[in-house]
Structure 1
Amino acid sequence: MVPVFQNRNGTKQHVPSPDLAIMRTEESEEKKEIERGDSAQEEQLQQMEEAKEEEEEEWKRIPPWTKQITARGLIASLLIGSLYSVIIMKLNLTTGLVPNLNVSAGLLAFVSIKGWTKVVQKAGFISAPFTRQENTVIQTCAVACYTIAMSGGFGSYLLGLNKKTYELAGVNTEGNNPGSYKEPGLGWMTGYLFVSAFVGLLALVPLRKIMIIDYKLIYPSGTATAVLINGFHTPKGDKIAKKQVGGFLKFFSISFMWGFFQWFYSGDVEKCGFSQFPTFGLQAWKQTFYFDFDLTYVGAGMICTHLVNLSLLLGAVLSWGIMWPLINRLKGDWYPENIPETSMQSLNGYKVFIAIALILGDGLYNFLKIMYTVGRSIQVGLNKKNLNSEQKNQRLDELRKNEFFMRESIPVWLGCVGYLCFSIVSIIVIPMMFPQLKWYFVIVAYIIAPALCFCNAYGTGLTDMNMAYNYGKVGLFVIAALVGKDSGVVAALVGCGLIKAVVHSSADLMQDFKTGHLTLTSPRSMILSQVVGTATGCIIGPLSFFLYYKTFDIGNPNGEFKAPYALIYRNMAILGVQGFSALPRHCLQLCYGFFAFAVGANMVRDLSPAKIGKWVPLPMAMAVPFLTGAYFAIDMCVGSLIVYLWHRFDNKKASVLVPAVAAGLICGDGLWILPSGILALAKINPPICMSFLPFRK
């Protein structure tokens, strides 16, 4: 039965069986609910008003572009860019798989300047306030620096020119002509980067308004970085940042000390130390299935998605667990018995060319998909009407951001003249460095490059996929076929690098412009910091490469630093020169199958329902273990497992700390490379070799 109760207007309703006690209880509860609702509404309105006031104050405090670039910011950028260059170089030369480190670079930029300001203030000096604009400039400069280490070809097309890769591809192979190699050198590598890396920075500067404001492209990585930086520079974000800084420093220390501890047991030979620990038994260890305690890849696995890590594991099981043992039993039938393991006519040929088939299938599909997406999106954009009325309905803050973004203009003539000047320098210098690549090929590359840059930057804005490596591969095959057998391999590798450098840097610049648009950072300071970071990277990149090249056995297929993509790129060039005659027996049929699998897997992911498509493996990720082995895929999956369990037990804390912990693991282990490399150069070897042998009675 329902008791008597009082309505909000004060009138009473009488119902059967009144109960005064219950009535009073419910009346008081309802009043409390109304009061709680009113107070919550008032609190929400107050928070909105405070946010508006804070936003208005932020607009008033925006520093001019000349003050957004500071001396402390440039020093921090140099340190972060150098550290990440060393880390990325290790990833390049071991597996070639590099995760997106932009967010962690933004975190490190915040940590470094906040720490600097605290030290300065404790010393009694006055320090300029740390703004989100300065944070953005530091992050942009650091990313531009370490991007050279990632996309400069140190683990792919430039390293594919060296003598060891030339020998691994088969000295007697048709197209792989004697003398068609060039040993790495600090001078020519630095010069090559300087004449090729800056062209792309100016290719799309005149189109920044179209990309960012007119087409409203998302650029997910640039947007995510802006959200992170904006979050740091709010009262709530400051609390979260303190937690992230604590997590980063804790796991940075653990990772660095673990690397130091492992060094004592690694001996002076390849099969020593924790990195060769037979986690699943000696037989599995022989097939590269073991956990090697590499915290760099554990951290990378925490950043990459579960699908990427599971795809790596699937590729490892399929190749090293099933295919290679079966093909190895066919030695003497499918390929000769008495042949070096590194020859392309042995098992190594199947590893390389099947990986190439997966990479090309995945790349071709995504290339065509992006072209279709770009075409459709541009067509829809051109057919839109009533743009003026749409602009009127935009939020005020968005209009103000657009106005600020376009206020400090960059002259169109500056971009055009700069592109032309850098192109002329490259056209003159590159043929002098590599006579195999004729000057007219360089001219053609730079004529078609702006169109390729636009397509890639537009596709990156829609999907966050920088397809520069696919444009480079297309250029590689075209140049190899046109130049021919005499000089085609070298010309193709160098030409691939030119196209990839232009297309990659232009898309990266648009990502940075998107970050600057959302953080109210001047485009002038953004492009200047990009130029400074790129110039620094052209010096730091080769130096970090030679830290490894002079210390470790780079390119050894049985060692830690396999540099798999160097061999892949050289063999793609050979394939472009001579066709399918380079493949061992039955390899072509297997390549057809895996190429079709790559295309089919992508089609299933895009066309099937989301709950099915999200479990379809990524062919590009599957291809990496085909050459490198399964051990690093297990490291990555351990990182993914940590993230999964952490989210299950404490989702709120995991969401805040996972990026910081992953960055700490990567940076700590990466920083240990510097002292270990110095020790190796000084001929100081670890005192203990820990290895494992089968037990014999």
Structure 2
Amino acid sequence: MAHAFGWAPSEPLDAGEGGRGWILWISLAVMCAESIIGVVALVFSSGSKDFLDWGKADNSLSDITLPDEDDEPPERQTPINYVVSGLVISSIVGVLAVAGAAGTSIAPWATLLAFILASLFSVLAVRALGETDLNPVSGVAKISQLLYGVVQPGNVVANLIAGAITESGAMQAGELMQDYKTGHLVGVAPWNQFRGQLLGSLLGIGFTVFGYTLYRSTYPIPGPQFPAPTSAIWLNLARLINNGTLPETVPSFMLLFGIIFGVTGILHAVARSRRLRRLRSKRRRNEPVPTWEHCALAFPSGIAFATGMMNTPNFSLARLLGGLAAAAYTRYTQRCNTQQDLKTLLVIVVASGFVLGEGVASIAGLVLTNSDVPVLCYGCRYGCGGGC
């Protein structure tokens, strides 16, 4: 539509001036509207309680955890001096590393502020992921970008770096929470996990840098095969809040979609909070659920909606097919006597096999392509076409 009506004059798949780039602005509006509202609702519903509980706790080093009784004895816990010293050292190293990579594009105090914001937003990320299995990293990153539009106005590079630090902190905090929860379920001591994570992080640096370098040397990023749509969203927001301009006619669409998913985001947050309170209360657990709560929770998530807009159809359609297959399998097995947990586990195992298989095959193909090994196109006649 944007291309046909002349709102996006370039080629439709152009992520800059084409229809694809025009759509990204609507996706950005949806993500910002629902994410900001969701984070604010999370702060008022439970995040503020965490900070208040910490403030009421004893200030001695032995009690710098949650005020509730710990599930692990002190000898199995990570010593607090390791946590504090690691936080200080890693923050200093992080500021120096950003200064070495970005130079004067971002002030050291601004980088340190990004680490502080990442720590605060990580609390919200852990809370949200633990309760809903959704980590609002996109939301906290967008909020950080908006804040840095005020802290360092006109500085696009600082805006991107601050958002990346905040999102990385929230993402890693959520992943660590999942790891420690899994370790707790299987009886692993947190202190052993902590040491294993340190070793894994050091080894992971080499593997990730090698893998990224291998991909960059083989494929253009962004390019046809790896368009990196999220990077366009980040860059669009950074440019917009630093004296940028919007394409023609897109503001009205952004406002419309932002209002729609802002309202649904509020309904989502309220319905989710009410549901969690019922689950925690033995007295209210069997209360009937109001119809509006069912409708609010059934309405599409704004983040999922925006992700479907900014991704290319092959990703979105693949997710749709996977969801339909899982729904069909669940409906089919409801007539059997199999336990629900076992049915859910089987779906996860099959999905994990798809992910693992494609991941291993893509790495093997990457190495072969980078080594100039010729591709064999079995079944192709009269020359190779399509993906061949």
Q: Which residue of 2 aligns with 1:477?
A: 146
Which of 111, 123, 127 aligns to 1:454? It is 123
Cα deviation digits, residues 133-162 of structure 1 (max 9, x gap):
xxxxxxxxxxxxxxxxxxxxxxxxxxxxxx
1:600 correspondence with 2:263: yes
Alignment check: 8 A CA contact 2:221 2:227 kept: yes
Q: Does 1:327 align with 2:16?
A: no
Residues 244-264 of structure 1, C-alpha deviations (whole Å, 9 max, x = no match): xxxxxxxxxxxxxxxxxxxxx
1:533 is matched with 200
Superposition map of 1:245-284 within 5 A: none
Q: What is the CA-CA distance between 1:532 and the residue it aligns to?
A: 2.0
Q: Secondary structure at the match of 1:329?
A: coil
Structure 2 counterpart SS, 1:432: helix
Q: 1:463 to 1:576 in 2, by over 3 A?
A: same
Aligned partners of 1:623, 1:643: CA distance in 2, in Å?
A: 22
Deviation by residue 1:590-623 (Cα, 9 ceiling, x = unmatched): 1111111111222344446343234201111111
* Aligned pair partner of 1:658 in 347, 350, 365: 347
Give the whole-Å Cα distance in 2 for the aligned partners of 1:443 and 1:628.
33
Mapping for residues 132-151 of structure 1, pairs under 5 Å: none
SS of residue in 1 equivalent to 2:357: helix
What runs of 5+ residues in structure 1 fail to find an aligned partner?
A: 1-325, 385-398, 693-697
Question: Could you tell me how far apart the structure 1 residues matched to 2:48 and 2:142 are?
Answer: 25
Q: Which has the higher contact order (CA 8 A, sep 6+)?
A: 1
Task: Measure how far apart 1:690 and its partner are.
Answer: 3.8
Is 2:252 the partner of 1:562?
A: no
Which letter maps to 2:370? L
Deviation of 1:588 after TM superposition, in Å, equals 0.8
Task: Letter of the 2:190 partner, please give it.
Answer: P
Aligned partner letter, 2:36: L
Relative to 1, partners in 2 of residues 1:626 and 1:448: Cα closer, same or farther, differing over 3 Å? closer
Q: 2:79 aligns with which of 404, 408, 411?
A: 411
- Give the drift of 1:510: 2.9
Structure 2 counterpart SS, 1:550: helix
SS of the residue corresponding to residue 609 of structure 1 reads helix
Distance 1:661 1:691, change over 3 A: same
Q: In 2 relative to 1, CA 686–561 (structure 1 residues): closer, same or farther, beyond 3 Å?
A: farther
The alpha-carbon distance between structure 1 residues 362 and 327, as it changes in their structure 2 partners (threshold 3 A), is same
C-alpha distance in 1 between matches for 2:82 and 2:297 = 45
Q: Are 1:362 and 1:598, in contact at CA under 8 Å, matched by a contact in 2?
A: yes
Shift of 1:376: 6.3
* One-letter amino acid matched to 1:673: S
- The counterpart of 1:494, out of the listed 161, 164, 168, is 161
Match status 1:369 vs 2:41:
yes
Instruction: Name the residue aligned to 2:29.
Output: 357
Alignment correspondent of 1:425:
93
1:502 and 1:636, CA in 2 relative to 1: closer, same or farther beyond 3 A?
A: closer
With normalisation by structure 1, the TM-score equals 0.45
Change (3 A) 1:457 1:368: same
**Runs of at least 5 residues in structure 2 that lack an aligned partner in the other structure:** 57-68, 272-290
Contact between 1:431 and 1:439, CA under 8 Å: does it hold in 2? yes
Distance 1:405 1:510 in 2: 18
CA distance in 1, matches of 2:294, 2:115: 43
Provide the rounded CA distance (Å) in 1 between the counterparts of 2:320 and 2:108.
47
Residues 458-477 of structure 1: CA distance to partner in whole angstroms, max 9, x if unpaired?
34333333233322222223
CA distance in 1, matches of 2:376, 2:120: 53
Partner Cα separation in structure 1 for residue 240 and residue 315 of structure 2 = 28
Aligned equivalents of 1:377, 1:460: Cα separation in 2: 16
1:371–1:459 CA contact under 8 A, matched in 2: no
Taking only aligned residues, the RMSD between alpha carbons, in angstroms, comes to 3.0
Q: What TM-score does the superposition give when structure 2 sets the normalisation length?
A: 0.78
Q: Which of 672, 681, 685 pairs up with 2:361?
A: 672
1:478–1:576: 8 Å Cα contact kept in structure 2?
no
Structure 1 residue 381: deviation in Å?
A: 6.8
User: Does structure 1 retain, via aligned residues, the 8 Å contact 2:138–2:167?
Assistant: yes
Matched to 2:143, the amino acid is V
